[in-house]
Each structure stands twice: as C-alpha cells, then as structure tokens.
Amino acid sequence: MVNGGRYRPLKKWGHLCRERDQYMLMLRVDDWKLGRKTEVFRSLVPDSYAFPPFQHITLYGPYLIMPGDTPVAMYNAIESAAEGISGLSFNLSGYLRLTGRNGQAITHRIVPSYEFVRFHNRLWLSLAAIARSLSWIDRAPSIRQFHITHAYNLRTRDADLICDTVKTSQANATDSNVPGGPDENNVGNLPLQVKKPVVLPDYAPLTSLRIILLKNGVIEREFDLPAREWLNRQLVFNRNRTAVSLMQYRKLTGLELASPQEPKQNPPFICSDLHLGHNNIIRNCRRPFNNAGEMDRVLISNWNMVVGKSDAVFYLGDFRYGSEAPPSSEYLGHMNGRITFIRGNHDTDIPDTIPSLQVSYKGDEFLFIHDPDDAPAGFPGWVVHGHYHNNDLERFPFINVEKRRINASCELTGYRPVSLETIHTLIREYAGPGNLAIMPVTRDTVRIRPIQHEIR
C-alpha cells in the first residue's frame, strides 16, 4: 500500500498557497514499431511538444481526488479493479485522426479485449466514488474511444503532411512478400527512410503489463499487473524488473508451462515457426521474452510438457534461425517426439524435409504446408500453415473459417504444440461466420472485427 499527501505547497504572488494534485491513469505500451512510427512523424513536424514522451493508452483523467478521500483510496481502487488480471490485451485497428481544442492528433485506434473492457468498467466505477474527472470523456465508460497517440496539438497542415506520408509510404512499399507486409488496403507502413518501410499491419496484437499513475504530469508510480505490486520510478525503468514482470506474466497465463498438461492431448501434434536462437523474432512478433536464450528454454520446455517421447509431430517449418543459433541437431537432442519436418524458408540444416503433407482426419482433409500461398489452388480441405506468425491476424488468424485456413505459428498456439484433435474440435465449434484470432488456451477469444481506415 502507498501513502501520500493530497496537496502540494506552491508560492504564488508572494503568498504560500496549496494547489490540489491532478492525477491521470494510463496503460504503458512498449512497442518498438509504434515507437519508430512516432519517430517518423517527429521528423516531419518541427514542433517537439506535439509528441508524447512515451506510448500509452489513457484510461481515466485527468482527475482530482474528492475532498475527504486520500491517495490511499485511489491506490486501493486501482488494485481492486485489476484483481485477477495479469495483462491487458488489445489490438491496433487502423489510424484515427482526431480534432481537439488545441489542434489535431494522429492516433492508432484500439480494439480492446473483453477483459480490457471489463477492467475499465470496474476502474470507472471504483474511481467515480472517490475522484472527480476533469475530462468529459470520463462521464461514462462507454464514451472513451481507446487509442495510442503518435502526435497531438498539430496544425492542420502538419496533420495533412503526416496523413499524406501514411498514404504515399504504402505506394512506395514494394516488399509485398514480407509476412504480414503491405497490401493495397493497408495504410499501416511508414518509412523510416524512403525505401525502408516499417511493417505493421493495422490489426496487430499487443499486451500491456503496467498501469501508469501520473501526478501533476510526472510518473508517480506504476502498478505491475502480473506481480500486483506498485513500482517506484527507479523500478519502473529497471530492465531486470521488466524481465521479472514478463516471466510472471508467462507463468500466470500459461505461456510458460510448469508441469505437463492434463488431460494429455492425443497426437499427432502441430507446431510451426519456433525460430529458436533468433533474437529479432522477439521484437518482430512481440514475444514475451527478454532474449533468445530465455525463449529457447521456455519453448523447448513447453514442447516437452506437451509432446511425449514417441508422439508424432508435424512441424511446419522455420525451426531455428540466425548465424548465432546452435544447429538444429543440438536443439533436437533435447526435444521429444517423432517429428515430420515440412520445409520452411529458413530450414537449411534439417535433412529429409518435405514440401507438404496431406492427411485425412475424422472425415476432414488437412494440408500441412509452411506458406499458405504455396497451397494448390482449389484444395477443398483445411490448409494448416505457419509463416505469417501473428503479424497479420486480419488475414491469417489462428482459424479462418471462411477460407478454411489454420495458422499454427507458435505465437497463436500459446508457444506450445497443439494436437490435431484440438484443432478439429475448434473448427467444428467455430464453424459459423467470423474468425478465431488466437487459440483460446490462456486468454480471451478475440474475433476479428471489420477494419476501417480513418485516414483518407
């Protein structure tokens, strides 16, 4: 629990007076791709004040604590609203251009998960009893439109320049073969340089682990959701403490298994795109790890918790990657299962790989292949693939019912293999319209919503 005063003394016109503290609550969003986009905007607009100091989603405020209440009541309200929550997930969903009293803002729209919305409703109810918001948008929880701001208080000409950059960068982006890369309907790629786009589809998954408490415009503390602990400013920026938060988040959400799964799934198992030894995949696909060594340890441990020594596994490509990664044979010496390797574009040291495999299972046909674009046209069954990771969930979710595709990239299966039996059960359960974005192993099921591009 945290103690603190309600007022701070100020010297004004020669008199000592007291001004009430203003607070604001935000979610911290640490994402290098969003950060690089903000850098691009900053290079276009000379006004340094027009850019946020860090990426965030505003939750509530600015607000004042009601007379008779103390900051302790505020901390208790936040903790109560966050009860049972280890992280708040959301998705990016296109750009949004907003107009305010002091100018215009360029933002990314946020599609919150069910748990995010439930948390915000609880937070609003808790704070409404002890705080007075200074923002009209806090009159009801349903009013707030969540977004991440890239630039604000912009003159119209500067906002126009940024919007034009969003549009023209798409026209200049030529690498359409990058997984989750540009397509004619996607305006989400901004060049750090003219010929080097920052690839980020509009619909991208993110998770926040920290609630920021600002006091008079300065970070006072942050609430660590996995640890349920308030961090002072020194710990907020401590990288080792961030590593602990990630580890706790993985264990709480089941992304790092502590024991074999019960009941045990029946083989065969499916998995794709582990990218063992690949440091950059952590940033590119937002994996909850600090480095490749930690990632390899968890992925191999998860594998062995699910797969028995003699279980059949269909592995769909890209096993390890990078000049610093150990050879595939070294990893395989620590992994269970009888593995059939379908060849990926990075598999150079695995013998006896095959381009694809077709299997009949309980009356349905499945084609296992690395890149779904290589599947034969008109295949009547389900195409099970990897390659696209979690970089384009609008087109390549875990299950795409309409196009009869299953994306078995490990980011979508909880960083562990999944049985064909489980996949078959899910496609029968979700046989109606819509998509299943992420396998419902540890988190809320999120269905893809229509994407609307607001910059036009």
Query: Which token pair is 258?
Result: 């502590």
Q: Give the Cβ contact number of residue 373 at 10 Å.
A: 11
Output the domain CATH number for residue 223: 3.90.1140.10
User: Residues 87, 91, 97, 102: what is their CA dihedral angle, to the nearest 10 degrees?
Assistant: 0
| Per-residue model confidence (pLDDT) at position 2 | 44
Q: Per-residue confidence at 181, pLDDT binned at 50, 70, 90?
A: very low
Q: Return the residue matching tokens 């379908």.
A: 342
pTM of the model: 0.84
Q: Tokens 């074999």 sit at which residue?
A: 260
SS3 377: coil
Examine the domain organization and report whether 361 and 268 are in the same domain: yes
Does residue 354 sit in the same domain as residue 402?
yes
In a domain, 7, yes or no: no
Q: Tell me the pLDDT tens digit for each residue of 56-81.
A: 999 999 999 999 899 999 999 999 99
Confidence (pLDDT) at 180: 37
Please tell me whether residue 239 adopts helix, strand or coil conformation. helix
What's the rounded mean pLDDT across residues 319-346? Answer: 95
What's the rounded mean pLDDT across residues 309-315?
97
Q: Would you place residue 392 in the very low, low, confident or very high pLDDT band (cuts 50, 70, 90)?
A: confident
Instruction: Among 192, 222, 251, give the residue marking a domain's end.
Output: 251
Supply the Cα-derived Rg of the chain in whole angstroms: 24
Per-residue pLDDT of 5-15, as tens digits, reads 444 444 444 44
Residue 456 belongs to some domain of the structure: no
- pLDDT tens for 410-439 read 999 999 999 999 999 998 887 776 778 777
pLDDT mean over 172-191 = 38
CA distances in angstroms from 287 to 55, 274, 412, listed in the order given: 18, 11, 11
How many distinct structural domains can be found in the chain? 2
Do 242 and 271 belong to one domain? Answer: no
Residue where a domain terminates, one of 234, 251, 268: 251
228-to-1, 128, 239 alpha-carbon distances in Å: 11, 22, 18
Tell me the CATH number at 361: 3.60.21.10
**Structural domain boundaries, residue 221:** 16-251
Categorize the per-residue pLDDT at 16 as very low, low, confident or very high, splitting at 50, 70 and 90.
very low
Of 194, 223, 251, which residue constitutes the final position of a domain? 251
